[in-house]
A and B are shown apart, each in its own frame.
Chain A
Amino acid sequence: MANRVVMPKLTDTMEEGVLLQWYKKEGDTVESGDALAEVETDKAVMDLEAFASGTLKKILVEPGYIVPSGDLIALIARDDEDIEALLAKEKMPRTRQVGEEGKAAAPAEEAPAKTTSPSPQQTKTQSDTTPEPEAKPKAASPPSAPIAHTDGEIKASPLAKKIAAERQIDLSQIQGSGPAGRIIQRDLEGLSAGAIASTGAAPLNEAERVELTMLRKAIASRMIQSKAPVPHFYVTSEIDMGKILPLREALQKDGDTPRPSMSDLFIKATALTLRKFPAFRSSYAGDHLNVSNAIDIGLAIGMPEGVITAVIRNCDQKTLSQISAEVKDKAARARVKKLKPEEYTGAVFSISNLGMFDVESFSAIITPPEAAVLAIGSILEKPVVSNGEIVIGKIMKVTLSTDHRVADGLQAAEFLKALKSTMENPLSLAL
């Protein structure tokens, strides 16, 4: 399947970007996460990263051109994939050369007309057989969120299309949960045009206002608000748990203190790491960062209806047993929906632990305005080299998702290195 590369919306205010240079050329192999091109926004020069792996099959915009956010600029596909048909259906980017001021962006090239309907004699023509007057938006789409996709390429159920048209929701901004990303009714639950039109770091209080019984809806809109406008990147690291597991067992045997869970240990270790890395306790605010000095960590608590983040405040100043006790209490209350709003909002960094579910590794979605989230997998038995010998080690994979507007790969790698070192030499945790 071909993957579209569009001019991103890297900041709240970004409407268009200048393509400064391509790092890759047509025919190059690209990996998800590779820098594809350099892009200048109204505020900064940034790298545009690939969100898919494959071959860079087609470049549609030359360096030196300005492109509106959301317009297609390249296609990544399998090496042997024929993209001509797909290209024929695509709207070509609206470009103008740097220096050409003020002119409204105009299509560089009209996409081949696909609107002509087949004549009745042309049987079995492959085209949209269902004319759908009801599905067309009855009212204009919100001006702040231009529909970047053409009608045909958004996969959505007829019901979802009707709901979107009526509520003026821009389907191109929605991640579908149906087969192959098809947008279905439940993806639109609790959404209105406003929710989608507002991009950028969403104010926390928007979710605070939502009652807990509407948990699912809150998660849905929150994740879309995060994933669409926040450019995520992911760095994974392996941690040798050889030392921390015995330590944990020793602590668990100690009758008086609450037994620390894996999450508790990570909260403490992350708190210590966050002290040294202000970027990961900050939030992006357009032209500056807001750095928090309070190390308030959110822990995702799974329950049947969804997930809620319990916030443990000032984790760097608490002992492990204090953290354990607090997590235990808040997790229990989260499951019966008894957390107060201030107990599930306002974290500066989040942790999501699926280790108990036999998950090797996964990556989590950032909750704006936080800048990062740590995803913890299960402990795996793997051969490791210890004192020159191969032994079976206990390895855990952790993945850090980071807002690329706040930090980049090097900082994320350093953050993980510090966290790894704390977990592998865990005595500081017990203090």
Chain B
Amino acid sequence: MEKEYSEKSGEYQYDLLILGGGPGGYVAAIRAGQLGMKVAVIEKEAIGGTCLHHGCIPSKAIIRNAEVLSLIQDANKFGIQVDNVRADFGAAIDRSQEVLGKLHKGVTHLMEKQKVEIHAGFGKLTGPKTIEVKGEKETKTLRGKSIIISTGSRVRSLPHLKIDGKRILTSDEALLRKDLPKSVLIVGGGAIGCEFAYIYAAYGVPVTIVETLPNLLPLEDSEVSKLLERSFKKRKITVLTNTSVTAVKDEKGVFKIEFKTADGESETREAEVILVAVGRAPNVESIGLETLGVSVDEKTKLIQVDEKMQTKKANIFAIGDVSSRPALAHGAMAQGVFVVESLAGIARTPIELLNVPSAVYCHPQVASIGLTEEKAKAAGHSVKVAKFPLSANGKALALGETEGFVKIVTDEKYGEILGAHIIGAEATELIGEFVLAKTLESTAAELKQSIHPHPTLSEAVMEAGGAIFGEAIHS
């Protein structure tokens, strides 16, 4: 089903070319198909990108295994005696691959349905409207009126931590490694580091997690981070914040890792495996940006875009991990839809990065949207904050999951919701309610007045709204 091939120019013609078929790219492609555009996606590996193959999906599937195991381990709290629990970690990996396989098929089918063409190969911009695709057998040139760059990001390491894929790993290898390490040291206390810490700890592996900044999940509200650290410690995860790795020595199959704390003290610990989770590097190399004048930020290496995701070249856009932080799949997807709809002439307000929720799936879960209390104050708001503890929520008690809270940050004047921060069971689902509330510009008053089913965790959202006015019922 090749699109018009022009003998004269030797090129295939499209309305839109999308470089990279991750969540940013494939969602943009499907939406463009729905809007009747002729669209091609260039993908060097597999549709779905990091998220589907090396990120969100496999990690969430493995976390589900860890949750089932945690429940069984806690069964005696419910008076259920379970003996001889044997947890096969390899089976968790296999299951995650099955899950992503199914989703991969689904996504590919959706693209076919919208007549999106997928060109396999490495793509490079050769002009403001052309991409050269180096496939296994042939090289061809595609021409499109507009281009979306969605080449995403890749794992990254630190100079003294050479990834060997066996004992020094990144998330790419960890998601495929079927053997449990004897002990693991995780460098980096962001979302990925915390999720792996939870997985390995649930499977009984001694875990140490090291973060240079003062808190785990440094971008989250510090009250949330503090509770997470306490909770991790209860799960026997060693948490070292304000700490940097200074040297790593390999001694007969065991790493000796040296740290320095913020106060200048040094310390040494041992681990069999090191997992490096220090962020992601945008894929901006060898794709022709330099010659086109599409500029890249010197420090972050992110492609520079304006609020419309437009690069310095008017018809070239960049979305997702290659242009934006925090690196989140749903942010990339929303940006993709935004760009395509704007191209189709649909009036859209730009994506506000502050309204892209974050979600971390370790236990307790953490999710948030908008400003933290600290940032709201720094931005000059007259801030009013309220917190509702899950220990006062009936459903949380019934579940035996009372750790955590729902915190709302509002501006006192109109009760505008500036931010919401949740830690605890199902936080990543509960945050959706705040996303909607914020999108519709509801205020704390509407949260308080909307009737929630009882007993549910979601009542905590309503109660937190009430707490802003000092009117929470159950606390």
Contact = CB atoms under 8 A, between A and B. Distances in A.
Interface stretch (B131-139, B398-406, B437-445): B437-445
Nearest to A356: B314
A158 B306 contact: no
Contacts of B415: 134, 162
26 contacts: A130-B449, A130-B450, A131-B449, A132-B449, A134-B443, A134-B445, A157-B440, A157-B441, A157-B442, A158-B442, A158-B445, A158-B446, A159-B414, A159-B442, A162-B414, A162-B415, A162-B443, A163-B414, A166-B413, A166-B414, A177-B347, A185-B416, A186-B349, A304-B306, A304-B308, A358-B145
A18 B339 CA distance: 49
B441 A160 contact: yes
A189 B288 CA distance: 41
Contacts of B416: 159, 185
A132 to B, nearest CB: 7
A36 interface: no
Contacts of B449: 130-132
Interface in A90-146: 130-132, 134
A162 B345 CA distance: 32
Nearest to B414: A162
Contacts of A185: 416, 441
B437 to A, nearest CB: 9
Closest 5 CB pairs of A and B: A157-B441, A159-B441, A162-B414, A304-B306, A158-B442
Contacts of B445: 132, 134, 158
A202 B183 CA distance: 73
Given A130-B449, A163-B414, A177-B349, A158 B308 contact: no
Nearest to A160: B441
Interface in B349-371: 349
Nearest to B451: A129
A130 B145 CA distance: 48
Interface string B409-423: 000011110000000
Interface string B325-363: 000000000000000000001010100000000000000
Nearest to A183: B441
A15 to B, nearest CB: 33
A: interface residue count bin: 10 to 19
Contacts of B345: 359
A143 B449 CA distance: 32
Most buried by B among A157, A166, A186: A157
Q: Which of A134, A159, A185 has the most CB of B within 10 A?
A: A159
Contacts of B450: 130
A74 B445 CA distance: 37
Contacts of A184: 441
B433 to A, nearest CB: 15
Interface centre among A131, A162, A359 (most CB of B within 10 A): A162
Nearest to B349: A177
Interface string B283-317: 00000000000000000000000111000000000
B306 A159 contact: no
Interface string A150-188: 000000011110110010000000000100000011100
A378 to B, nearest CB: 12
Interface in B380-430: 413-416
Interface in A170-216: 177, 184-186
A351 B415 CA distance: 42
A162 B308 CA distance: 29
Nearest to B416: A159
Given A131-B449, A163-B414, 14 more contacts: A130-B446, A130-B449, A134-B415, A157-B442, A158-B442, A159-B414, A166-B413, A166-B414, A177-B347, A177-B349, A185-B416, A185-B441, A304-B308, A359-B345
Q: Which interface class (under 10, 10 to 19, 20 to 34, 35 or more) fits B?
A: 10 to 19
A158 B414 CA distance: 9
Contacts of A158: 440-443, 445-446
B53 to A, nearest CB: 35
Nearest to A159: B441
B384 to A, nearest CB: 14
Contacts of A134: 415, 443, 445
Given A130-B449, A158-B446, A162-B415, A304 B441 contact: no
Contacts of B440: 157-158
A131 B446 CA distance: 10
A130 B465 CA distance: 15
A240 B416 CA distance: 53
A186 B307 CA distance: 16
Contacts of A163: 414
B339 to A, nearest CB: 14
A98 to B, nearest CB: 43
Interface string A331-360: 000000000000000000000000000110
A159 B307 contact: no
Nearest to B437: A158
A185 to B, nearest CB: 6
A43 B307 CA distance: 48
Contacts of A359: 345
Contacts of A160: 441
A130 B349 CA distance: 27
A162 B443 CA distance: 9
Contacts of A159: 414, 416, 441-443
A162 B78 CA distance: 48
Interface in B439-475: 440-443, 445-446, 449-450
Contacts of B308: 304
B274 to A, nearest CB: 44
A281 B442 CA distance: 46
Contacts of A177: 347, 349
A354 to B, nearest CB: 11
Interface in A345-386: 358-359
Nearest to B350: A304
Max count, chain B CB within 10 A of own CB: residue among A130, A132, A158, A160:
A158
- Most chain B beta carbons < 10 A, residue from A131, A160, A186, A358: A358
B335 to A, nearest CB: 16
A87 B145 CA distance: 48
A159 to B, nearest CB: 4
Contacts of A186: 349
Nearest to A131: B449
Contacts of B413: 166
A304 B442 contact: no
Nearest to B445: A134
Nearest to B413: A166
A132 B441 CA distance: 15
Contacts of A358: 145
Given A159-B414, A162-B414, A304 B307 contact: yes
Nearest to A165: B414
